[in-house]
Amino acid sequence: MTIEEMKRKKQEKGYSYAQLSELSGVPLGTVQKIFSGETESPRYATLQALEQVLKDHDGMTTFNDCAAFSYGAVSEKKQGEYTIEDYFALPDEVRVELIDGVIYDMAAPTFDHQKIVGEIYRQIANYILDNNASCEAAVSPVDVQLDCDDKTMVQPDVLILCDHDKIVKGRVFGAPDFVLEVISPSTKRKDYFKKLEKYENAGVREYWILDPYKKQLLVFFFEGDIYAQFHDLTEPVPIHIYDGKLQIRFEHILKWCDGMNE
């Protein structure tokens, strides 16, 4: 969606700048600069966050949006007030993430989504085993207490962890070294904007966002000179924390992407 299209959608839906800021998580000043033209080249993640608000579906469902969530004291709190204690008080069958005190509903992943996640995990795990590497890989659902506080608990699709001391009581306490998220229509805005900011600030070294609908990979290597790179999945993509020695191949994944629709 171009900025001109966003302006038209904003007018059609009657959003104010403040509403767009609140719904997208983009700072109000940034929203105003983008729509006024003052910012000529906004960050891709920022545009994605705004686009998801302006599209016909919201793209990010929070705990209070779901009428089925009526679990005593947990449901009586306001968004932003929830803690790890509330997170663990939910029934096991309820899958959510907690980010800065806000609980986000996580719909069950599709079969193709899980095939993609599993294939990338397989390639990483095989490399680690074949090279007797010290790091470990894990696939969702694994709880990651990202900020080491009581306000955030996420479940990345795939992670690599090199510090074994961060494994506490069966979950990761702190930032993994590498995180991959395979986006779905319900997680786009969260993965492109909210989690990008959280992962970078927490100390994740490398973050991949795979969009199977666009057959596109966005790689953030926070320790490198180039902050973000796009890949079209036609060639192997190196994982930077392994100095490029581990490369993920996407031949099978591209075929699975063909059957996925937003």
**CATH assignment of the domain containing 159:** 3.90.1570.10
- Is the pLDDT reported for residue 245 higher than 90? yes
pLDDT in tens, 107-151: 888 899 999 999 999 999 999 999 988 899 999 999 999 999 999
Q: Which alpha helices (DSSP H) does the chain contain, by range?
A: 3-13, 17-24, 28-36, 44-54, 73-76, 84-89, 111-130, 188-189, 195-202, 251-258
Number of domains in the chain: 3
Q: Are 230 and 217 in contact (CB under 8 A)?
A: yes
Residues 242 and 137 in one domain: yes
12, 34, 54 — which closes off a domain? 54
CB neighbourhood size of 89 (10 A): 13
pLDDT of 24 higher than 80? no
Q: Ramachandran region of residue 70, left (φ > 0), alpha (ψ -120 to 50) or beta?
A: beta
**What percentage of residues in the chain have a pLDDT greater than 70?**
91
In this prediction, residue 239 carries a pLDDT of: 96
The upper half-sphere exposure of residue 122, i.e. CA atoms within 13 Å in the direction of its Cβ, equals 10
In 3D space, the residue among 239, 233, 237 whose CA is nearest the CA of residue 251 turns out to be 233
Sheet with 171-173, strands from edge to edge, namely 144-145, 171-173, 167-168
Residue 159 shares a structural domain with residue 74 = no
Residues 98 and 125 in one domain: no
DSSP 54-73: HSSS----BGGG-TT---TH
Could you read off the pLDDT of 138-197 as tens digits, one per residue?
A: 999 999 999 999 999 999 999 999 999 999 999 999 999 999 999 987 777 788 888 999
Looking at the structure, tell me whether residues 50 and 147 fall in a common domain.
no
Give, rounded to a whole angstrom, the gap between the first and last alpha carbons of the chain.
Answer: 15
**Residue 88: which domain range?**
63-105
Q: Return the percentage of the chain with pLDDT > 90, whole number.
A: 50
Alpha-carbon gap, residue 204 to 223, rounded angstroms: 9
246 and 120 both lie in a single domain: yes
Largest CA distance in the chain: 57
Could you tell me if 32 and 116 lie in one domain?
A: no
**Same domain for 36 and 91?**
no
Residues 238 and 115 in one domain: yes
185 in the same domain as 132: yes
Q: Which one of 71, 89, 105 terminates a domain?
A: 105
Instruction: Tell me, yes or no, whether 175 and 230 share the same domain.
Output: yes
What gap in Å lies between CA 170 and CA 99, rounded to an integer? 20
Examine the domain organization and report whether 120 and 178 are in the same domain: yes
Domain with 41 in it: what CATH number?
A: 1.10.260.40
From the list 178, 194, 111, the residue with the least C-alpha distance to 144 is 178
Same domain, 127 and 251: yes
